[in-house]
A and B are shown apart, each in its own frame.
Chain A
Amino acid sequence: MNLPAEQTGDFIPWEDADAKPIIRFQGVTKKFGDFTAIDNLSLDIYEREFFALLGPSGCGKTTLMRMLAGFETPTSGEIMLDGQNIAPVPPNKRPVNMMFQSYALFPHLTLADNIAFGLKRSDMPKSEIAGRVDEMLSLVQLSKFGSRKPHQISGGQRQRVALARALAKSPKLLLLDEPLAALDKKLREETQFELMDIQEKLGTTFVIVTHDQEEAMTVASRVAVMDHGQLVQVATPEQIYEFPNSRYVADFIGDVNLIEGAAKSVTKDAAVISWAEGLPDINAAAPEGLAKGDNCCFAIRPEKVSISAEKPTDAANALPGKVLDIGYLGNMSTYHVELGNGQIIKAQVANQRRLSRRAYTWDDQVWVSFTATAGLVLSA
């Protein structure tokens, strides 16, 4: 299931057995009273990584990050930074800086003083601080704004100041707590690329916490999908999207059709899944460990489903249904096709021509089809 190196880029320290992680969570558990926020979690993060913690609110991702910053201590287990247990190190002594979701800029200080705030607490000589502040201001393209106060600049600019302030001390590790959540969509997308550029330029290890899967997919070298204080899957964005290891991940990342069924026959690389009486079985690639008779789930992304008026002759799978709904998204349209047993399959079709006439409309009888390798059989 591992993608070849050229698809993930050359930077894959997590597959190198000799690489030493900069951060290592070892059996970390964090409890707040009766509530277990982090449940016996182990995770390695490598230097220069842009690592995303992704999950719904309450999944423990923020707690995990706050433990890295030092605002929470693990109930049990160890967190190693550069081979050292950092549990007894208070937040102000860690080579870790954090960018807060609220930005937490000091309202009584100018932008330059905000950025200098951490430097003044470090052992940097006074004469060098001004130069470093200018350097950080130009990194985030705010050179002219140094003497302004936070309330005199826009939300996007505040976000950049917060980033500059967190980076000013050249931390070994930068934590970003929902850094783009307060920005509007367009600005958010621009800023995502800016963040990646800055990370690449500085080579600092970034750990970002987000509930926005698109953001995680865009910026991160690896994504950890979390649920109920545990890691569900840790992999590159491509692997997470194309090879989710469970229904939860498949459903959480992007749009997916999930079809519940049972394995009717399993060979070395093919499985036949029966899922509804009177409808054709689904032919798919067999995952490891699937046995005949097992309950399983067939997952397929809408963009991998084709739609046609006539039954395609060459498709491995073709199912009849009728168009229930059409969603026009501009660059593509989503068709909701209801199959005979009421199961709804979403199919996405790119709008390659300007919309003069739709090939199918509401209540049309159509066929949805997909190849045997387009989808994935999930047993978890």
Chain B
Amino acid sequence: MFNPRRLFLILVPYSWLFFLFLVPFGIVLKISLSDAALSIPPYTPQFDPEGGWAAIRELFSGFDLENFIWLSEDNLYWKAYLSSVWIALVSVLLTLLVGYPIAYAMARSSEEWRPTLLMLVILPFWTSFLIRVYAWIGILGSNGYLNQLLLWSGVIDEPLVILNTNWAVYIGIVYTYLPFMVLPIYATLEKLDGDLLEAAEDLGCSRFQAFWLVTVPLSRPGIIAGCFLVFIPVVGEFVIPSLLGGSKTLMIGKILWDEFFSNRDWPVASAVAVVLLLILIIPIILFQRQQQRAQEAEQ
């Protein structure tokens, strides 16, 4: 049955997806199949809108998979992909270890304090992301605040080298992405019925067993959501590794930037982006299925 109102409602999100996701992706895919050239824009073939069918046919005949073959042949790229996924996995684990206790403490705090604590978690978003990451340079550098404090207190004799290592990248990532882990976990813990913990204790659990057997399983949807929300953007992260990481920090976001702006090889850069998207689509699909299952379980 044709229902104009329903059609309109569906049209809004779908046209959003079409114009802001599918069309740009199509453009990137097209560039990834092209060849680099010294021109503006820097690739061939280019589509001539006045050429009609012949131009389109010519365009398609100019496409090849050369850039993707190039990616598979140079081991820099797959090392960067692997290293990005590894750094993302470690970051997820670290963020979870830091974020879960924060979310737990927030959910267990008195009700009047919760909005304030929630505010404090979100507060960093009010400052530019770039400025916050830059601030870490000042903290982690060999003459930075952290080393000064440790030297002054006598814990160390020589300044620690943190900046320009993977450690700095992890610190930056955990700091930046913490709210994405804390908020979904907090949402599940806040809903947790206190009677369940008392029931567990009543049935013979110690406090820790009750936490492990009741609180953790019931906050699993939040943990999974938080992990995906951190993992997916961190794989493609560029700003943090380029500002805090060193020359040895290999991440695909950095490669992508270099290909685009240093080499001006748009086709290879686009191919890198297309492969990154394909790698991320798997966790994104898993994430959506999990969300769906969590929703069904709630009904």
Contact = CB atoms under 8 A, between A and B. Distances in A.
Interface of A: 69-71, 90-93, 96-98, 100-102, 104, 106-108, 117-118, 121-122, 151, 165-166, 169
Interface residues of B, number: 19
Give the residue among A70, A104, A169 with the most B Cβ atoms within 10 A: A104
B209 interface: yes
Contacts of A117: 200, 203, 213
B199 interface: yes
B202 A106 contact: no
Contacts of A91: 198, 201-202
Interface string B53-95: 0000000000000000000000000000000000000000000
A204 B209 CA distance: 27
A165 B203 contact: yes
B205 interface: yes
Contacts of A93: 204
Interface in B205-246: 205-206, 209, 213-214, 217-218, 220
Contacts of B200: 106, 117
A104 B196 contact: yes
A98 B204 CA distance: 11
Given A92-B203, A100-B195, A106-B196, 14 more contacts: A69-B198, A91-B201, A96-B202, A102-B195, A104-B195, A104-B198, A106-B199, A108-B218, A117-B200, A117-B203, A121-B209, A151-B297, A165-B203, A169-B204
A258 B61 CA distance: 102
A104 B199 contact: yes
9 contacts: A91-B201, A96-B202, A98-B199, A102-B193, A104-B193, A104-B198, A108-B218, A121-B204, A166-B202
Contact of B198 (A96, A100, A151): A100
A101 B199 CA distance: 11
Contacts of A97: 202-203
Contacts of B195: 100-102, 104
A270 B206 CA distance: 62
Contacts of A122: 204
A107 B218 contact: yes
Contact of B201 (A92, A106, A151, A165): A92
Interface in B142-170: none
Contacts of B218: 107-108
A206 B144 CA distance: 66
A122 B204 CA distance: 7
Contacts of A166: 202
Contacts of B204: 92-93, 118, 121-122, 169
Contact of A108 (B193, B203, B206, B217): B217
A299 to B, nearest CB: 39
A93 B201 CA distance: 9
A107 B204 CA distance: 18
